[in-house]
């Protein structure tokens, strides 16, 4: 099978998946090895740099998403605000999770100084955070982490593109 066909198949899978998918899932579906799929995804990512969509990576999973520079146009078309629909408290909570993940609700509340259960529920419903495990401590509290959708919401392609904690201005 030619490399172009593999790229086409990867694009189709990313388009219809509707959720982040792993290299292994893609490789199994196409019948190729993970290394070959990784190489093709890297090539596609480079090809998409000046296109209207991007391949977003979160951990070992990939998602096809609209390019961030078109967010305003897409928001207007969909008649919804993609970047400004979270309250300041929700954005603050999301930022804490981004920089401290995995983190428990109690740890978030300790930082914020207020109850966060409702905000965590909203962030989970919107798909920006998810349960990533349980802490090995009494009560085994839920650990929260970010999702691929959070990366698209913030307009970055990978977590490494986020500003480092030291670079963030505390106004």
* Residue 144 tokens, joined: 């929260």
Region 69-80: mean pLDDT is 73
Whether residues 99 and 151 share a domain: the answer is yes
Host domain of residue 7: 3-70
For CA atoms 58, 62, 63, 64, give the dihedral sign.
positive
- Reported as a pLDDT band with limits 50, 70 and 90, residue 170 is low
The answer for residues whose C-beta is within 8 angstroms of residue 44's C-beta and 6 or more apart is: 7, 10, 11, 55
**pTM for the whole thing?**
0.55
Region 41-47: mean pLDDT is 94
pLDDT at 36 over 80: yes
**Position 81 in a domain:** no
Burial 151-162 (b: 16+ CB within 10 A, else e): bbbbebbebeeb
More confident position, 154 or 64: 64
Total number of domains in the chain:
2
Distance of CA 11 to the CA centre of its chain: 18
> Residue 107: enclosing H or E segment and its boundaries?
helix 105-112
**Position 77 in a domain:** no
* Residue 64 tokens, joined: 């096809």
pLDDT at 63 over 50: yes
**Position 92 in a domain:** yes
* Chain segment 76-134, per-residue pLDDT in tens: 776 554 445 788 899 999 999 999 999 999 999 999 999 999 899 889 888 899 999 99
Percent of the chain residues past pLDDT 90, beyond the cut: 54
Region 129-152: mean pLDDT is 92
Whether residues 98 and 63 share a domain: the answer is no
- Residue where a domain stops, chosen among 42, 70, 98: 70
How high is the pLDDT of residue 166?
A: 73
Contact between 55 and 63 under an 8 Å Cβ cutoff? The reply is: yes
**Position 75 in a domain:** no
Whether residues 25 and 95 share a domain: the answer is no
* Residue 75 tokens, joined: 């928001």
Average pLDDT score, the chain: 86
Contact between 142 and 131 under an 8 Å Cβ cutoff? The reply is: yes
Whether residues 151 and 107 share a domain: the answer is yes
How high is the pLDDT of residue 86?
A: 84
Whether residues 100 and 141 share a domain: the answer is yes
Cβ neighbours, 10 Å, residue 80: 10
């Amino acid at each position: 099978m030619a490399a172009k066909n593999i790229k086409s198949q990867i694009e189709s899978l990313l388009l219809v998946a509707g959720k982040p998918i792993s290299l292994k899932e893609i490789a199994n579906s196409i019948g190729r090895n993970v290394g070959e799929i990784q190489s093709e995804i890297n090539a596609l990512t480079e090809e998409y740099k000046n296109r209207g969509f991007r391949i977003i990576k979160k951990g070992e999973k990939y998602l096809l998403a609209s390019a961030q520079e078109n967010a305003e146009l897409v928001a207007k078309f969909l008649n919804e605000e993609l970047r400004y629909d979270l309250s300041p408290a929700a954005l603050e909570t999301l930022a804490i999770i981004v920089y401290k993940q995995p983190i428990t609700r109690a740890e978030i509340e300790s930082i914020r100084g207020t109850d966060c259960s409702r905000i965590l529920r909203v962030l989970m419903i919107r798909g920006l955070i998810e349960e990533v495990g349980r802490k090995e401590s009494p009560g085994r509290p839920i650990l929260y982490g970010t999702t691929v959708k959070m990366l698209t919401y913030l307009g970055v392609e990978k977590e490494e593109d986020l500003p480092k904690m030291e670079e963030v201005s505390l106004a």
